[in-house]
């Protein structure tokens, strides 16, 4: 089972899309394969599998400091968003189906809510964000009506990294009966304190962003929140979804979560330093660069930028040919070169097709970032055919970002 760091001759800087499988996750998955019984079966093999699944659920709850019954395993994070949103809406009384969200949510949230609106199941309001992608608490509260039953605001934006004030919103709505859903797929393992403090009624986690396996997601549901399943009726996961649970995927997800949380106190500041130095190098060395990620209240190690008149996909492809893996934006949109709805929402529509996202992770080093900057410079020279694109320093020496990345 492939695991560990990417090949040494290539540089992977797309951790917001997915992370390499952790050895601990691979080991846990292999061990869990021994429990081949169906957890729903009522014989000894089934009971052994069910007991192991219960242990995994309990460990997840302990790691996230939530109740054991709050943990729901799903097929992926997008399904967790679907289950949380549609399930919450259909459990709301008919007179409380006004929903608030923002225009920068993940497509699995926006598309789901827009689908519910098109089917006349909800009335949807999108609360605007500022130029950094942050929604103001007072604007959210101003949008709340007597008919508001659900609010969905992500904890950390997957394209530009902005951290949203979910904790303040939850606190301000105490006692109102409004359910708050938050997609925390990018936050947990990078800024888990924000997750623990948020206290959302429904939260989505994405294990493969942490170095766990793909094919599994986690929905955290506070016990007081009713859900009506939008999926095929089944007996699994508190009756909210059908299908035999995968112990191997659950085991890999929990192992990755455990290690990521253990590493976070040291890893998060390291990535924050690397990200800050990357932003500084871009500003210092590239004349026309536009930075879209905020400097404060942002995921560590995520930098989104663009150059006027250049398609982001051109840069991504050219860098990939040089062994550098970055992204045009969200992984679900970049393959189709869809302009970024996030950049359009923050008032950077002219850059919506040109964004490049660099997202650092546990195997990222200063040398990787330095190589990225060097290759980016060469790519821009090839595309633009001129070196006047860059900020001048010493006219007798080419620009080199290397000194910025000598970290003790």
The sheet with strand 98-101 has its strands ordered as 71-74, 217-221, 202-205, 179-183, 148-152, 98-101, 123-126
- Does residue 159 lie in a domain region? yes
**Residues 336, 246 share a domain:** no
List, in sequence order, every beta strand (DSSP E) within 122-255. 123-126, 148-152, 179-183, 202-205, 217-221
Contacts of 24 (CB under 8 A, 6+ apart): 255, 256, 258, 259
Q: Where on the phi/psi map is residue 39: left (φ > 0), alpha (ψ -120 to 50), or beta? A: alpha
- Does residue 1 lie in a domain region? no
Both structure tokens of 148: 């508001």
Final residue belonging to a domain, choices 208, 234, 259: 259
Nearest Cα neighbor of 5 from 23, 25, 20 is 20
Q: Note if the pTM is more than 0.85.
A: yes
**Residue 323 is part of a domain; what is its CATH number?**
3.90.1150.10
pLDDT at residue 289, rounded to an integer: 94
**Residues 210, 271 share a domain:** no
**Residue 160 is part of a domain; what is its CATH number?**
3.40.640.10
Number of domains, the chain: 2
**Residues 174, 39 share a domain:** yes
Alpha helices in 33-106 (DSSP H): 44-64, 77-91
pLDDT at residue 236, rounded to an integer: 82
pLDDT at residue 223, rounded to an integer: 85
Q: Where on the phi/psi map is residue 11: left (φ > 0), alpha (ψ -120 to 50), or beta? A: beta
Q: In the chain, which residues have pLDDT < 70?
A: 1-2, 232-233, 329-337, 385-408
**Residues 292, 235 share a domain:** no
Domain extent, residue 105, equals 22-259
Residue of 136, 276, 331, 332 marked catalytic: 332
**Residues 327, 193 share a domain:** no
Q: Which secondary structure element, helix H or strand E, spans residue 15, and what is its range?
A: none
**Residues 253, 273 share a domain:** no
**Residues 316, 167 share a domain:** no
Residues 404 and 277: their CA atoms lie apart, in Å, by 7
**Residues 298, 186 share a domain:** no
- Does residue 76 lie in a domain region? yes
pLDDT at residue 37, rounded to an integer: 92
pLDDT at residue 333, rounded to an integer: 53
Structural contact between residues 325 and 10, judged by C-beta atoms closer than 8 angstroms: yes
**Residues 275, 254 share a domain:** no
- Does residue 358 lie in a domain region? yes
Is 206 a known active-site residue? no
- Does residue 2 lie in a domain region? no
């Amino acid at each position: 089972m492939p695991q560990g760091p990417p090949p040494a001759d290539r540089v992977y800087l797309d951790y917001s899309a997915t992370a390499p499988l952790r050895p601990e996750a691979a080991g846990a998955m292999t061990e869990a394969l021994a429990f081949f019984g169906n957890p729903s079966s009522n014989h000894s093999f089934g009971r052994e599998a069910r007991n192991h699944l219960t242990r995994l659920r309990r460990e997840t709850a302990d790691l996230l400091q939530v109740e054991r019954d709050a943990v729901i395993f799903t097929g992926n994070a997008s399904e967790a968003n679907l289950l949380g949103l549609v399930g919450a809406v259909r459990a709301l009384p008919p007179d409380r189906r006004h929903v608030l969200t923002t225009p920068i949510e993940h497509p699995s949230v926006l598309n789901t809510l827009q689908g519910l609106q098109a089917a006349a199941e909800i009335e949807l309001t999108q609360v605007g964000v500022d130029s950094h992608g942050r929604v103001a608490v007072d604007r959210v509260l101003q949008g709340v009506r007597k008919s508001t039953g659900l609010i969905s605001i992500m904890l950390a934006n997957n394209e530009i990294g902005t951290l949203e004030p979910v904790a303040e919103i939850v606190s301000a709505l105490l006692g109102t009966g409004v359910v708050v859903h938050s997609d925390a797929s990018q936050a947990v393992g990078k800024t888990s304190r924000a997750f623990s403090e948020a206290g959302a009624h429904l939260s989505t986690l994405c294990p493969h962003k942490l170095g766990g396996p793909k094919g599994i997601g986690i929905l955290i549901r506070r016990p007081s929140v009713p859900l009506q399943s939008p999926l095929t009726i089944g007996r699994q996961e508190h009756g909210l979804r059908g299908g035999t649970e995968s112990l191997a995927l659950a085991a890999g997800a929990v192992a990755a979560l455990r290690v990521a949380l253990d590493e976070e106190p040291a890893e998060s500041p390291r990535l924050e330093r690397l990200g800050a130095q990357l932003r500084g190098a871009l500003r210092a060395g590239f004349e026309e660069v536009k930075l879209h990620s905020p400097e404060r209240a942002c995921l560590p190690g995520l930098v989104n930028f663009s150059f006027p008149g250049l398609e982001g996909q051109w840069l991504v492809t050219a860098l990939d040919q040089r062994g550098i893996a970055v992204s045009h934006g969200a992984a679900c949109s970049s393959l189709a070169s869809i302009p970024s709805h996030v950049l359009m929402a923050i008032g950077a529509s002219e850059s919506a097709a040109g964004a490049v996202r660099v997202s650092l992770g546990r195997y990222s080093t200063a040398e990787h970032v330095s190589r990225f900057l060097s290759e980016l410079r060469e790519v821009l020279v090839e595309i633009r055919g001129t070196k006047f694109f860059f900020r001048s320093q010493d006219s007798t020496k080419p620009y080199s970002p290397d000194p910025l990345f000598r970290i003790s």
